[in-house]
Structure 1
Amino acid sequence: MYQNFGATVEGATVTFRVFLPDARKDPSQYNGDAFPGIRTIRVAGTFQRAGGWAWDVATAPELHRRDHPSGDLYECAVSGLDDGWYEYKYFVTFQDGHQRWVTDPCTKYLARNDENSGFVIGGPPVEIRDLAVRRPLSGAIFYELHPLDASASYRGARSPFRALIDRLDHIRSLGVNAIQLMPFTGWWGGGWGYTIRHFFAVEEQLVADPARPASRLHELGRFIDACHERDLAVFVDAVLNHVDAGSDPGTGFGYRWLYRNPADSPYLGRYEGGLFLNDIQYGHGCAQQFATDVCRYWLDRFKCDGLRLDYARGYLREDDVTTGAGRLIRDLRDHLDWTGRERVPLVIEHLPEDRSAAIATVNRFQADGMWFESLMFELRNANLTGRPSPDLLTALAAGEGFTAGGRNVGYLSNHDYRTFLDWPGAGGRAQWWRMQPALVALFTVPGAVLLRNGEEFGQQFAVPGFDHPDRQLPRPVDWSLADDEIGHRLIGLHRRLAQIRRENPVLRTGRFKPFPYVRSEVPDPEGLGVHTARGLVVYALTGDRHAIVALNFAGTDRETTVAFPHQGTWEELLDDADLKVLGQRATFTVPGNWARIFVCTE
């Protein structure tokens, strides 16, 4: 519904539509007496140049109120416009005579100048091919990027989304098959894009190109089409827990300022456990529908291939599937099934993370998976100390416990944290080889893999704590690091591990052993588990074939003995150090800061 409001263009005509819910007509919209108190809505902007003065309120066309089953719909059309880019805003007069400018809450275009809304007449079409192959989440290798940071060093005057196409072949060569975009809808200020204000519009900084003023949405569409051409899925970071509603009329979230008393807006208000800015009030049907339609717009119109629901815990009630994130997932799943897109993953960020509670939430609400921070922390600690904790086994076994195909998304770092090599004591890029066992672990446990932009060639980023003012400063990717010796070695390792994972399904979908795991700092009788003092971790996977993985976080070689499930030749995938198993057990050596991956060939 909401995706059809705002400014819609057909030929040389633009139609403006503003919807406001009314609980007297439809009680499901909200509770209480949240009436906007509007007398008139006019729309003014640069499109008025054709008949007079731009931004002239006196001659601005008025939107006429029409009946709607769930409220009121204000609407008007302007015809005869030339091709080009236009900006506009609503000028609202309330019943008591108070007046203010208001941004369009459903605008599809955003101008950085005064947060004006916008539309395009003419311009290049947005044409996006379908993704040829849709994979389950277990088959995904993500590449997380921020369009501004990833393109900062080379884009020049081009839009970030246009410039990013230059890097897609490199990303694809890593074995990546999915792009995880950080937020790209209209936000306030600088930072990473989590201060969302305009949910249906692309952030102007990401699509503006002086040479192509009428392009804009085409820039995003062209990027997604280029990804699909390369068999790269595109995932949206959906920020739907909160909104930066703004403190000044004429900017911020339009559905706050369309109400005479902004505090009366039924779209905003405390719902569950929000921590940031202004909560979206999911207890009200109008807000729930708005969020669902935002997701449908990006999934349908731009053929995006999956969603990461940012801080889903902030709008998720564990015992309620009728509102909040639970209802959102259910409604989106119904919509995707109905449109024949059953394999469009819906992934939640469930923080602060409690592994068992998070897995139970994924199962209960039929999400496809969750971001999994415990694996990052445990691998980091093993790397820093050379002494893997028994808790690392629990993290590695995170794929167990899911039902209906749920999976975790594992990573060595993401945008919220400093890069793996930048942690104090990690040795930095000069000691890149120390991260090898952690990287092998990431690629050899069931679930999805996520790589952070720049980490494939060892770039170091320091990210201050959550309350630090410099936390969301730009961190441009230095692509030149891909060309030195360390960059070549790390990129080669990523490519090799991705190929091994792709060619051996047991590494991404197999059953993990030992599980359940008896917490101990020494291996079990079969040689599986952690040996904390020796820096070793050994685990098995069973699926279409058998695999045994051994990680050595110590700086020196370690010998270990393991019970293999079958006699015969076991192929070693990293160094071609094949192993002949003649009895029930075999002994082998794991080089320092390295690993062994054995798969049964007989």
Structure 2
Amino acid sequence: MQGEPELLPLQKLGAREDEQNSGVINLGLFLPGVSADQGNRLWVRVIYEKDQFLQAIQPKNFELAHSVDPEYGDYWSATIKIRPEDRPASGSAWGSSGKYVYRYCLKNPDIQEPIDWVIDPFAREFGVGKLSSFTLGYKKQYEWKWSPDESVWKTPPLEDIILYELMISEFASDIDGTVSRLDYLADLGINCIELMPLSNVEKRVDWGFTPIGYFGVDDRFGNRKDLQRLVDAAHRKNIAVIVDSVYAHTSHLFPYHYVYDKLGWPEVENPFMGSFAENVYGKSTDFNRKFTRDFFLTVNHHWLDCYHVDGFRYDYVPGYWLEGSENGYTKLVKDTYQLVKAKKDATSHWQRFFKGNSVNLIQCAEQLQKPIDVLNSTYSNCTWQNGTLHAARGAGSNPEGLSSLGLFFGLFGYPAEVSHNGDRITKTALQYIENHDHSRFVCKFGTVFPENENNELLKEGNRALWYKVQPYLIGMFTARGIPMLWQGQEFGENYYLPEEGWGRVLLYRPVRWDYFYTPEGKSTVSLVRKLVKLRRENPQFSRGEHFFYNDSLYLSRKVILFSRKYGNLFSLIALNFGDRDQTVPFIFSHEGSYREELHGQENLAKVSAGEEVQLFVPSNYGRVWTLES
């Protein structure tokens, strides 16, 4: 079914406290094809959070009633009262305000054992592992500090973004810790953070890419109001927030796989899961199904509306993108854009996306196979691309490798703007040499085993070689596209990451903030701060044309030269990836004096147009010369 975007009726789904009656909780969920007429019965099991580990206190059971929704089919619902006089046992906190955990249990006449431990697919909060939760007394909504409609904040245009990827548990333990680090990020010059998956997962240490719940924050990090407070605090420091969204696949415990698998339904009859595009990770979702499409569009709307996030980083787009199909990823990003665009005249927090005629919703694809195609053919306005990362890791003595890196710094072939159904959308790609999927960049130059030489998981990059990273950082921040740092990269974090295996995703790698104070950390963060400031204050780096001097004269000396130009603003960037200082000739086409931006030690005075100048480029470093106006 195509046509206008449709949202699921969240007002009747999940666990919601009655606005008029204290202590009354309404629950509802869709289980298409699972009806009472077939003998199915559904219960919800609820217990106060602090009671759940006490042997004398068991959860209370409430049976749900069945009805049929005209749009989505079988609907189960219940209204339960939580009163102190109904305590399940002496000493129970039942009836008190606070957090309650719950799960569903389905009894089917054809299966001997009940299907227990079913998480609520529409839960707004979660407990440990396979438990959903709600907070009694939560009716009061979060009050945004700037104003009720958050009218002051504006999501930045793509060209202005300097991105920082982080995982809350590793970056600062939890949401409160992350809020406390926002001053640091703002001082660094970051104006957008990308949060690795926040959705509910089963394990306590996990990257989060096999979700079992989508409408809330995993309790490892905090709860609804905690994340709202983080977004609010970030906006007040001029930092946008985008969230990592995992829609191509789920955990085997995701209820729309778990329940129907336990019932023995064949995949073709599952109302939500199934083959769609590439099915590589976890359990695949089927975007040919209306219920699936509407579910994930509703997830997007909920995060934009409830949490005020500024956009999404869509994980593993090949898993739900079929070229030529109007369903899947193509439809999701289009419908999300149109949902936001329709809010242009609304006097509410939606105004954060509008400045002039642009809609500054950030929709970033992780489409590593066809990054250019996803920009050209969908409403995505930016994309991850591993070309720069792989070229940087392969660059060495081979001139062809440096040439490839120079081309990726310029994002050659990537569109700057594309029209979709009359909507003119700015397009770009991310530039990074590190992200959560790969070892720290310093590992390229050498690794050490700090404790056990036979344990690959303990291997680390040799921080003594930190200086070799410098020309790559200079190139990244002066290149075309959105520069992105991975947490701790700016002060030399050096974890090694295995190429495969569970050790990649199930090992806790906290950011080692003590690195900030080491000589390597101080030197690296000083350079990053300088580069961020340079980019933010000079529009030729964020918006300008890029020209790569792809000349063997330079490449054979392990030097890359490229320029950035915006109107009358001009900068020349020279990067030396070798261990020897180099002096190379260059003919300037713009007359004037040039200021060296990194240290000011190689200023060029009164250069004539057409004059050949010998440029000194220090080893494992670079120079940035800007034409003075």
Q: TM-score, normalised by structure 2?
A: 0.82
Structure 1 equivalent of residue 545 of structure 2: 511
Displacement after TM superposition at 1:432 (Å): 1.6
Picking from 379, 382, 389, the partner of 2:395 is: 382
Q: Is the 8 A contact 1:272 1:315 kept in 2?
A: yes
Q: Tell me the distance in 1 between the aligned counterparts of 2:247 and 2:412.
A: 27
Q: Tell me the distance in 2 between the aligned counterparts of 1:482 and 1:278.
A: 40
Structure 2 equivalent of residue 261 of structure 1: 264
Picking from 134, 138, 163, the partner of 2:159 is: 138
Asked if residue 522 in structure 1 is aligned to residue 523 in structure 2, the reply is: no
Q: Tell me the distance in 1 between the aligned counterparts of 2:31 and 2:391.
A: 49
Displacement after TM superposition at 1:459 (Å): 1.5
Structure 2 equivalent of residue 594 of structure 1: 621
The alignment-based identity, stated in percent, is 25
For residues 437-468 of structure 1, give each alpha carbon's deviation from its aligned partner in whole angstroms, at most 9, with x where no partner exists. Answer: 11000000121111011111112010001335
Q: Tell me the distance in 2 between the aligned counterparts of 1:471 and 1:256.
A: 22
What pairs with 1:382-531 in structure 2 (closer than 5 Å)?
382=395, 388-398=401-411, 400-402=413-415, 403-404=417-418, 405-425=426-446, 428-467=462-501, 469-514=503-548, 522=552, 531=554
Q: Tell me the distance in 2 between the aligned counterparts of 1:77 and 1:265.
A: 28
Displacement after TM superposition at 1:535 (Å): 0.9
For residues 138-189 of structure 1, give each alpha carbon's deviation from its aligned partner in whole angstroms, at most 9, with x where no partner exists. Answer: 211111111111124xxxxxxx111222211112211111111111110122
Asked if residue 337 in structure 1 is aligned to residue 341 in structure 2, the reply is: yes
Displacement after TM superposition at 1:484 (Å): 2.2
Asked if residue 291 in structure 1 is aligned to residue 296 in structure 2, the reply is: yes
- Which letter maps to 1:589? F
Q: Is the 8 A contact 1:464 1:471 kept in 2?
A: no
Q: Tell me the distance in 2 between the aligned counterparts of 1:35 and 1:538.
A: 71
Structure 2 equivalent of residue 87 of structure 1: 101
Picking from 220, 232, 237, the partner of 2:227 is: 220
Relative distance call for 1:442 and 1:46 in structure 2 (3 A) is same
Q: Is the 8 A contact 1:36 1:258 kept in 2?
A: no
Structure 2 equivalent of residue 187 of structure 1: 201
Q: Tell me the distance in 1 between the aligned counterparts of 2:413 and 2:610.
A: 26
Asked if residue 7 in structure 1 is aligned to residue 15 in structure 2, the reply is: yes
Displacement after TM superposition at 1:399 (Å): 5.8
Structure 1 equivalent of residue 47 of structure 2: 46
Q: Is the 8 A contact 2:119 2:212 kept in 1?
A: no
Structure 2 equivalent of residue 249 of structure 1: none
Structure 2 equivalent of residue 63 of structure 1: 65
Q: Is the 8 A contact 2:41 2:63 kept in 1?
A: no
Q: Tell me the distance in 1 between the aligned counterparts of 2:134 and 2:214.
A: 15
Asked if residue 535 in structure 1 is aligned to residue 558 in structure 2, the reply is: yes
Q: Tell me the distance in 2 between the aligned counterparts of 1:286 and 1:111.
A: 26
Q: Which has the higher contact order (CA 8 A, sep 6+)?
A: 1
Picking from 105, 114, 117, the partner of 2:121 is: 105
Relative distance call for 1:67 and 1:507 in structure 2 (3 A) is closer
For residues 63-85 of structure 1, give each alpha carbon's deviation from its aligned partner in whole angstroms, at most 9, with x where no partner exists. Answer: 34243333233222224554221
What pairs with 1:147-296 in structure 2 (closer than 5 Å)?
147-152=168-173, 160-189=174-203, 190-207=205-222, 216-246=223-253, 252-254=254-256, 256-257=258-259, 260-263=263-266, 264-296=269-301
What pairs with 1:540-555 in structure 2 (closer than 5 Å)?
540-544=563-567, 545-555=569-579
Q: Tell me the distance in 1 between the aligned counterparts of 2:166 and 2:377.
A: 30
Q: Is the 8 A contact 2:330 2:378 kept in 1?
A: yes
Structure 2 equivalent of residue 212 of structure 1: none
Q: Unaligned stretches of 5+ in structure 2? A: 1-6, 84-95, 345-352, 354-358, 419-425, 448-460
Picking from 8, 13, 27, the partner of 1:16 is: 27
Q: Tell me the distance in 2 between the aligned counterparts of 1:416 and 1:553.
A: 24
For residues 378-415 of structure 1, give each alpha carbon's deviation from its aligned partner in whole angstroms, at most 9, with x where no partner exists. Answer: 22333687985221122112165313321111111100
Instruction: Name whichever of 386-395 and 174-183 sits farther off.
Output: 386-395
Structure 2 equivalent of residue 73 of structure 1: 75
Q: Tell me the distance in 1 between the aligned counterparts of 2:232 and 2:293.
A: 30
Asked if residue 309 in structure 1 is aligned to residue 311 in structure 2, the reply is: no
Q: Tell me the distance in 2 between the aligned counterparts of 1:508 and 1:91.
A: 54
Q: Tell me the distance in 2 between the aligned counterparts of 1:401 and 1:585.
A: 33
Relative distance call for 1:198 and 1:432 in structure 2 (3 A) is same
Structure 1 equivalent of residue 453 of structure 2: none
Q: Tell me the distance in 2 between the aligned counterparts of 1:36 and 1:394.
A: 63
Relative distance call for 1:281 and 1:199 in structure 2 (3 A) is same
Q: Tell me the distance in 1 between the aligned counterparts of 2:617 and 2:66.
A: 75
Structure 2 equivalent of residue 361 of structure 1: 374
Relative distance call for 1:318 and 1:392 in structure 2 (3 A) is same
Q: Tell me the distance in 2 between the aligned counterparts of 1:38 and 1:422.
A: 59
Q: Tell me the distance in 2 between the aligned counterparts of 1:128 and 1:292.
A: 24
Q: Specify the SS of the correspondent of 2:178.
A: helix
Asked if residue 324 in structure 1 is aligned to residue 331 in structure 2, the reply is: no
- Which letter maps to 1:328? L
Structure 1 equivalent of residue 603 of structure 2: 578
Q: When the two structures are aligned, how many residues end up with a matched partner? A: 551
Displacement after TM superposition at 1:469 (Å): 3.8
Alpha-carbon RMSD: 2.7
Relative distance call for 1:312 and 1:37 in structure 2 (3 A) is farther
- Which letter maps to 1:228? H
Relative distance call for 1:125 and 1:54 in structure 2 (3 A) is farther
Relative distance call for 1:312 and 1:458 in structure 2 (3 A) is same
Q: Tell me the distance in 1 between the aligned counterparts of 2:38 and 2:389.
A: 51
Q: Specify the SS of the correspondent of 2:380.
A: coil
Q: Tell me the distance in 1 between the aligned counterparts of 2:165 and 2:481.
A: 16
Relative distance call for 1:481 and 1:37 in structure 2 (3 A) is farther
Q: Tell me the distance in 2 between the aligned counterparts of 1:36 and 1:85.
A: 34
Q: Is the 8 A contact 1:387 1:554 kept in 2?
A: no
Q: Specify the SS of the correspondent of 1:187.
A: coil
Q: Specify the SS of the correspondent of 1:196.
A: coil
Displacement after TM superposition at 1:43 (Å): 2.1
Q: Unaligned stretches of 5+ in structure 1? A: 23-32, 153-159, 208-215, 247-251, 524-530
Relative distance call for 1:54 and 1:278 in structure 2 (3 A) is same
Displacement after TM superposition at 1:274 (Å): 2.1
Q: Is the 8 A contact 1:236 1:306 kept in 2?
A: yes
